[in-house]
Structure 1
Amino acid sequence: MTPVTAPRDQRESVAALLDLLTHVEAHPQQPAAYKLVSPSGDVIDLPESVFLLLERIIEVLASGDAITVVPVGKELTTQQAANILNVSRQYLVRLLNDGRIPFRKIGTHRRVRMEDLLAYKRQRDRDRIASLDDLSQLSQDFDGYDEIPNEG
């Protein structure tokens, strides 16, 4: 589960690839046939599911972010799960013990399914957005903040 990012010297090529993919999507009237060409010139048809995954990977890399591909059914250690949520392992263990994220124990070790972790993360993100919307609405209801005088 090592994150991959495009090195600075490859970002221009990744961006050009993303532009090419955007062009393909902009012309849906043309039937798309995705192919992969090896260095020796061998050509193989690329299934659409693989193309869609590559497209998403290129999108993330072009934005300058790192990406990790993990099978959905994979079980994670508590440290791996904490890293994905960007929280401490101790905080994650508290979430598990409170029943907020399902897990199973193998001996004394907890394992978290990737799909359960991602479901928790999506819900957490929705809750955060709703809280920010509520806070923004409260600010508007009470006429927001006073204007800061311009001292110029």
Structure 2
Amino acid sequence: MSAQEATYLPLGDGDDHQLARVANFLGAFRAKKGEEPEPQYFLSGPNPSDHVPLPRQLHEILVQSVEALHSGKAVTIRPNEMQVTTQQAADILGVSRPTVIRLIESGQLDAERITRHRRLRLTDVLHYRDKKREEQLDFIASTSQHWDEEPSSEDFNRVRHAVAERKRKKQTG
């Protein structure tokens, strides 16, 4: 089986009960255990001895897929090369392609030029995304008195706008 992009739609009404059983199991497991112990995950075959351990990352992909499908969302699996285009980097970072170009030109992201196209290492893009997320969390924590829950996407949007406004003021002031 080759790695190809595929989108999976929520199951039909006949199969929805199977997806609900998996989602209910996952919810009950989290509720019962609180903090999850270091679990082991397996892909099993028809016989009890036919199984192979799954890495935690693959398990997390499956859990996210089940939760999305159960809530009526489609799931797309798209293999990425170790190098990405500026558009793919923009999609990963949640910004526009011109913003990625500016990040490259300002030296915040490394890129390699292949003919007239730029390619970025996927690990660099993911590292930049994680670094920015940490900076946003630090900013949120420093501007709030009490933070008891995980920041929401609205919190991140407010931080992005506040940082952008500060940059605009520095440039004009």
Paired residues, number = 128
Aligned amino acid, residue 62 of structure 2: I
Shift of 1:59: 1.5
Q: 1:36 Cα deviation (Å)? A: 3.4
Deviation at 1:61, TM superposition (A): 1.7
* Cα pair distance change 1:108/1:33, threshold 3 Å: closer
SS at match of 1:13: helix
1:85 matches 2:93 = yes
Match for 2:51 among 42, 45, 49?
A: 45
Q: Name stretches of at least 5 consecutive residues in structure 1 with no aligned partner.
A: 138-152
Matches within 5 A, 1:67-86: 68=77, 70=79, 74-86=82-94
What CA distance in whole angstroms lies between the structure 2 residues aligned with 1:32 and 1:114?
A: 27
Q: What SS is found at the alignment partner of 1:120?
A: helix
Question: Conserved in 2, the CA contact under 8 Å of 1:17 and 1:58?
Answer: no
Secondary structure of 1:105's partner?
strand
Give a deviation string over 1:73-113, Cα, whole Å, max 9, x none. 61111111111111110001111111111221111111011
CA distance in 2, matches of 1:61, 1:17: 11
Correspondence for 1:7: 10
Offset at 1:121? 0.5
1:31-56 deviations in Å (ceiling 9; x for gaps) = 8764235xxx8x8532433xx34421
Distance 1:32 1:126 in 2: 30
Alignment of 1:119-134 (within 5 A): 119-134=127-142
SS across alignment from 1:46 = strand
Aligned to 1:63: 67
Aligned match of 1:149: none
Point out where structure 2 has 5 or more consecutive residues left out of the alignment: 146-173
Q: CA deviation at 1:62?
A: 2.8
Shift of 1:13: 3.1
Check conservation: 2:42, 2:51, Cα contact below 8 A: yes
SS of the residue 2:108 aligns to: coil
C-alpha distance 117-12 of structure 1, shift in aligned 2 (>3 A) = farther
Answer whether contact 2:87 2:97 (CA < 8 A) is retained. yes
* Higher Cα Rg, which structure: 1
Q: Is the 8 A contact 2:41 2:59 kept in 1?
A: no
